[in-house]
Amino acid sequence: MEIQLWWLLALPAFFVLGWVAARIDIKHLVRESQALPRSYFRGLNFLLNEQPDKAIEAFLEAARVDTETIELHFALGSLFRRRGETDRAIRVHQNLVEREGLRPEQSLHALSELGQDYLKAGLLDRAEDIFVKLRGTARDEEALRFLLEIYQQEKEWGQAIATTAAMPGHADHLWQKDMAEFHCELAAGELLHGHFAEARQHLDEALRANRKCVRATILHGDLAWSEGDAEGAIEAWKRVEGQSPAYLALVATKLQEAHIKLGRDEQGLQLLRGYLERHSSLDLLDVVAQVEQEQRGPESAYKLVRDELRRNPTLLGLDRLLEAQVLMAPPERRGDLELVRNLIHAHTRRVARYRCDSCGFKARQFHWRCPACGGWETYPPKRTEEFDLTP
């Protein structure tokens, strides 16, 4: 193919234009670097040499020399907050908020950063005031998220519900689990004070928000029990199996107490044994073995635990088996068995914990909300040993 004449003319022109553009960019960069104070470059050097404290001091000097380095102020404030130096972060961001001549988006950014400083420092009232001011601005969604965090820390569940309802995507059920839990918190409070009608209303709202909310179903049973309706409590607690069988251990003791009140001790035990057979669980095994021991004696409890241990071998199950053996053993053998059982029991303490699916935080007690990351229903009611044994 023949080369067109205009190609030969265009190639040198493109080369010249590229060379000119490169020279302009280099000159622009040189001018910008010359405009920056030397302390800025010292700070960068300290960062590269992993000396963050000296870097911060250098950047502070740079910010004092050049008051136009807005982004540097933002970076310093965020760095202080991450390091836990909230007082210094607040001072930096307060200076930005009070400074004149900032663009509207910079002012909103500074206000939001100051609110986060107050939140990190535990000054929830001040943080709330700032994020309320940010409602309806370009930072509305961000303000809603921080307000929701504040209301949860303050246990202002009514405010949390209203904030959740204003969240983007609320209509798409992105927040249904949180909304249901907020109503459960309110219901639990009303139930504690004997306000049964109000509690029932909140529980109905919880199930409307999330029909799979196990906590609301459990609380419905607690409400019926508080009203003296043992039959209604049993029916409510039995619905947990259809929602999530893993939570049956949380209602096992309650179910047995309700059956005993109605004079149906054996029927209650059979119900729990059926749950254990269909949905193996260490916590459920613990409850069923205890009921078995109380109603049928230690030998029957031993056989129950032994069969379950063969089906699902665990250290926690072995601990329960040894406990039953100690009760059955003659006095001359009891001391040796207790020694073995105590050794096993000391080890099982490390695996007898619940673990958050979101952040991995472990706790001896079951929580509906993780104490570490604040996630709702992130604690499956299973011990860590059960997770380790799961393929």
Q: If you compute the radius of gyration of the chain from its CA atoms, what whole number of angstroms results?
A: 32
Whole-angstrom distance, CA of residue 103 vs CA of residue 96: 11
Residue 383: CB atoms within 10 Å:
24
Whole-angstrom distance, CA of residue 203 vs CA of residue 180: 8
**Cα 207 to Cα 92, 200, 202, 255, 378, distances in angstroms:** 46, 11, 9, 21, 18
**Cα 182 to Cα 116, 172, 177, 303, 366, distances in angstroms:** 23, 18, 9, 43, 18
**Cα 174 to Cα 29, 177, 178, distances in angstroms:** 46, 8, 9
First to last CA, the chain: 65
354 by DSSP, 3-state: which?
strand
Continuous segment of H or E residues that includes residue 362: strand 362-363
**Cα 33 to Cα 8, 41, 103, distances in angstroms:** 39, 9, 24
Whole-angstrom distance, CA of residue 233 vs CA of residue 355: 29
∠ CA(319), CA(325), CA(331), 5° rounding? 130
Whole-angstrom distance, CA of residue 316 vs CA of residue 347: 9
The response to whether 213 counts as a known ligand-binding position is no
The response to whether 370 counts as a known ligand-binding position is yes
Contact criterion met (CB below 8 Å) for 368 and 215: yes
In the structure encoding, which two tokens stand for residue 330, read together?
A: 């003659």
The response to whether 356 counts as a known ligand-binding position is yes
Eight-state DSSP code of residue 280: -
Closest CA to 296 of 319, 320, 265, 254: 265
Task: Quickly tell me which residue has 């309650």 as its tokens.
Answer: 254
Sign of the CA dihedral 138, 140, 143, 145? negative
Residue 144: CB atoms within 10 Å:
18
Give the residue ranges of the annotated binding site.
356, 359, 370, 373
Give the residue ranges of the annotated binding site for Fe cation.
356, 359, 370, 373
